[in-house]
Amino acid sequence: MHTLQQNPEQPFALYQGRVVTRGDLWADVYALANQLPNRPYVFNLCENRYLFCVCLLAAATRQQICLLPPSGQISAIQEIMQDYPQAYLASETAPQNADLKWFEVKAPNSKAIVAPNAFDWSRSALIAFTSGSTGKPKPCVHSLQTFKVSADMALSSLALAEKQYVMISTTPPQHMYGLETSIFWPLFSQLILHDGRPFFTEDIRQAIDAAPWPAMLISTPTHLRLLAQSDPVWRNLEGVISATDTLSEKLAQQIQVILGQSPREIYGSTETLSFASREVLRESLWQPYAGSRLVQHENQQTGLVSPHLPQPCILPDNIRIEADGRFAVLGRHQDMLKISGKRASLNQLNHRLKDIDGVTDGFCFVEQAGRGDDRLTAVVVSQLSKQAIRQALQPYLDEVFLPRKIHFVSAIPRNPAGKLTQTQMDKLLAELKLTKSTGIL
- Full set of structural domains in the chain with CATH: 11-291 (3.40.50.12780), 340-431 (3.30.300.30)
Residue-wise pLDDT tens digits, 336-359: 777 666 677 888 888 889 989 899
Q: How confident is the model at residue 1, as a pLDDT?
A: 43
Backbone angles phi, psi at 306, to 5 degrees: -155, 145
Residue-wise pLDDT tens digits, 287-323: 999 999 999 988 888 999 999 999 999 998 889 999 9
State mean pLDDT over 84-101. 88
State mean pLDDT over 217-229. 93
Q: CB neighbours of 389 closer than 8 A, spacing ≥ 6?
A: 353, 356, 359, 378, 380, 382, 403, 406
CA 362 to chain centre: 19
Backbone angles phi, psi at 139, to 5 degrees: -75, 135
Residue-wise pLDDT tens digits, 374-415: 678 999 999 999 999 999 998 888 888 888 899 999 999 988
Q: Quick one: what percent of the chain has pLDDT higher than 70?
A: 92
- In the predicted structure, residue 416 carries a pLDDT above the cut 70: yes
Q: Report how far residue 262's alpha carbon sits from residue 265's, in angstroms, rounded to the nearest whole number.
A: 10
Closest listed residue to residue 346, CA positions, set 306, 315, 379, 323 = 379
Q: How confident is the model at residue 401, as a pLDDT?
A: 85
Residue-wise pLDDT tens digits, 238-266: 999 999 988 999 999 999 999 999 999 99
Residue-wise pLDDT tens digits, 68-78: 998 888 888 88
Q: Report how far residue 317's alpha carbon sits from residue 333's, in angstroms, rounded to the nearest whole number.
A: 6
Q: How confident is the model at residue 319, as a pLDDT?
A: 93
